[in-house]
Structure 1
Amino acid sequence: MKSFIGSLVYCLSFLLVDLCESYDLNNPSHILSQTYAQRRNHALPHRTLSPAATDSQCRSRPLDLVFIIDSSRSVRPGEFEKVKIFLADMVDTLDVGPDATRVAVVNYASTVKIEFLLKNHLTKDSIKQAINRIEPLAAGTMTGMAIKKAMDEAFTEKSGARPKSKNISKVAIIVTDGRPQDQVEEVSAAARATGIEIYAVGVDRADMQSLKLMASNPLEDHVFYVETYGVIEKLTSKVRETLCEVKVEIVQDPCMCEARLAFQRQTQTSLQDLNVIILAAVIRKVEQMENMLGRV
């Protein structure tokens, strides 16, 4: 019986510690509405990112964005329409305007065609109408040639790209379903060296190794793959999240940290004193119960 009572006291001590942590020391009758996980997480500064802040940061981050889309023979007409829907959906998620995000489209197969430049359409409706008018080119898959044309002609100030002094991110999103019929590694490296961030979206038969050779690092943030064009629109939110990702680091005032440490020390001392008093009372009660049971 004494062994059982001792174990009970031991367990109760831990329970009391947790219960005491749930009380407001300035007002013991007020129980703080915190879970254990919340108390644990509040112990140290941490990174935080609210959805509202993400949307705001995304809208306030201007881009010079060029879509490079594969319209070779392997992309059927219905599938190409899915690509255009994906582009239009992406445009809808961005803040488009002269001082915000500008969009261009480079279309390629065995030849390369710049459908419109960054300076041509500066509203969402205008861009989406231009996307809707794009026709597939058919034939081969000259991805390297398309990347080079985008770098040399689409990402220039003459074509509507902002100067480096503006510090506007230059982003290329390549959408392809095949293996390139030319070299992509060297031209992609050259494009990245000029400051162009490359995302590679592969569909169906796309060659994963080629996607990795084209994309910027880290590859897990810049390479995407879907099995069919029928589900490519599901990538919209994923690509947007990567494009607009903003990590907010909490910078703490040193004075606030000192005050917090002092408060934590005071709280710890108060809890220890309170635990001793409560635990002593519990032990006395248990001893009384033990004595009563011993007399029975």
Structure 2
Amino acid sequence: MKPFLQSLLLCSLLLFSDVAQATYHLGAVDPHLTAAQSHAQTRLNGRPPFRSLNPAKTDSQCRTRHLDLVFIIDSSRSVRPAEFEKVKIFLADMVDTLDVGSEATRVAVVNYASTVKIEFLLKDHFNKLDLKKAILRIEPLAAGTMTGIAIKTAMNEAFTEQSGARPRSRKISKVAIIVTDGRPQDQVEEVSAEARASGIEIYAVGVDRADMQSLRLMASIPLEDHVFYVETYGVIEKLTSKFRETLCGVDPCAMGHDCEHICVNSNASFYCKCRNGYILNADKKTCSPKQVKVEVMEDPCKCEARLVFQKKTQAAIQQLSAKLADVSVRVERLESVLGRA
């Protein structure tokens, strides 16, 4: 029995040594890779149970930045079916965080592998439930990783006014979020530069074996704000909160203000307004009641003056009549006394 315990102890020590060595190698990553992973996510202790996409579920919204947003998602052979489901859950979570609507944020999805498929356009769905149902129907395309063609398709077909993008005069931000786990099999540098020059802001999300240099070539600058990396599709959902901060911006009024009555958001700033019946003071913060101005209207026809004269005349006549009546009474009394005499 004692030799058995010794063997068991020796095996345990060897197993511990292997685990420690593997952990060391995992930690010894390329320093350039580490620098690009400015938003890398750590694994959770005690991972939550597997989530499925629930179209009816909704989360908090952001209302301070409206977008024309196109997701460009890699569904090549390297993305396993269960991993692709994780990507779809990530897209649904992103939809939940946005203020979706025809006059708010519009969303489209471009799916790619060796071919490119526009799953739905910016003009197709203007509410969260329809968007998430459309995401649920997306199927992987399987072969190849033609990221450059996917970016070009998004630029030439998904971000057009015919497809639902707002005119440049509306000043609605155009944003593309690329999600990939591999190395592009075509050129991405030139087409990405062309897309950025056309006004499209590009975020590049790399997963697992993604080529970090390609992500840098695709993304907008500053790279530390536009290049993301996660170790597996299992933790890609953790990027949702980071994108919420990035895409939603800040709510200046919610951050605190000194308006006496009403705070109104205006891009990255705010201004104050007053409630009905008040006007904004010179300090642009406090409010004072509106002063009611009483105007004296002239009477061109002198009607009011005539009425006043008539009333005064009538009053004088009444007073004179009363005096005459009093005099008449006194005369009658005097005549009566003289008649008795």
Q: Does 1:79 align with 2:83?
A: yes
TM-score by length of 1: 0.65
Indicate the residue corresponding to 1:188 in structure 2: 192
Indicate the residue corresponding to 1:231 in structure 2: 235
Asked if the contact 1:82–1:233 (Cα under 8 Å) also holds between the matched residues in 2, the reply is: yes
- 2-structure distance, mates of 1:100, 1:160: 12
- Cα distance, 1:250–1:199 mapped onto 2, change above 3 Å: closer
Q: Does 1:116 align with 2:120?
A: yes
Equivalent of residue 137 in structure 1, options 134, 141, 148: 141
**Aligned partner letter, 1:176:** T
Asked if the contact 1:106–1:146 (Cα under 8 Å) also holds between the matched residues in 2, the reply is: yes
Cα displacement string for residues 117-156 of structure 1 (whole angstroms, at most 9, x for unaligned residues): 0001110000000000000001100000000000000000
* Superposed counterparts of 1:52-71, under 5 Å: 58-71=62-75
- 2-structure distance, mates of 1:132, 1:200: 22
What is the CA distance between 1:213 and its match in structure 2? 0.5
- 2-structure distance, mates of 1:145, 1:250: 39
- 1-structure distance, mates of 2:118, 2:90: 18
Equivalent of residue 89 in structure 1, options 84, 90, 93: 93
- Cα distance, 1:183–1:95 mapped onto 2, change above 3 Å: same
Asked if the contact 1:198–1:222 (Cα under 8 Å) also holds between the matched residues in 2, the reply is: yes
- Cα distance, 1:74–1:61 mapped onto 2, change above 3 Å: same
Residue-pair matches, total: 199
Cα displacement string for residues 77-122 of structure 1 (whole angstroms, at most 9, x for unaligned residues): 0000000000000000000000000000000000000000000111
Indicate the residue corresponding to 1:152 in structure 2: 156
The one of the two structures with greater contact order (alpha-carbon pairs below 8 A, sep at least 6) is 1
Q: Does 1:215 align with 2:219?
A: yes
Asked if the contact 1:60–1:100 (Cα under 8 Å) also holds between the matched residues in 2, the reply is: no
Q: Which runs of 4+ in 1 moved over 6 A?
A: none
- Cα distance, 1:216–1:250 mapped onto 2, change above 3 Å: closer
List gaps (5 residues or longer) in structure 1.
Answer: 1-54, 257-296
What is the CA distance between 1:240 and its match in structure 2? 1.6
- Cα distance, 1:62–1:183 mapped onto 2, change above 3 Å: same
What is the CA distance between 1:245 and its match in structure 2? 2.4
Indicate the residue corresponding to 1:292 in structure 2: none
Cα displacement string for residues 174-215 of structure 1 (whole angstroms, at most 9, x for unaligned residues): 000000000000000000000000000000000001001000
SS at match of 2:133: helix
- Cα distance, 1:250–1:229 mapped onto 2, change above 3 Å: closer
- 2-structure distance, mates of 1:60, 1:120: 23
SS at match of 2:130: helix
Asked if the contact 2:230–2:236 (Cα under 8 Å) also holds between the matched residues in 1, the reply is: yes
List gaps (5 residues or longer) in structure 2.
Answer: 1-59, 253-267, 271-281, 284-341
- 1-structure distance, mates of 2:63, 2:167: 20
Asked if the contact 2:64–2:250 (Cα under 8 Å) also holds between the matched residues in 1, the reply is: no
SS at match of 2:202: strand
What is the CA distance between 1:242 and its match in structure 2? 1.1
- 2-structure distance, mates of 1:79, 1:250: 41
Asked if the contact 1:66–1:103 (Cα under 8 Å) also holds between the matched residues in 2, the reply is: yes
**Aligned partner letter, 1:183:** Q
What is the CA distance between 1:246 and its match in structure 2? 3.5
Structure holding more helix per residue: 1
SS at match of 1:122: coil
What is the CA distance between 1:247 and its match in structure 2? 8.3
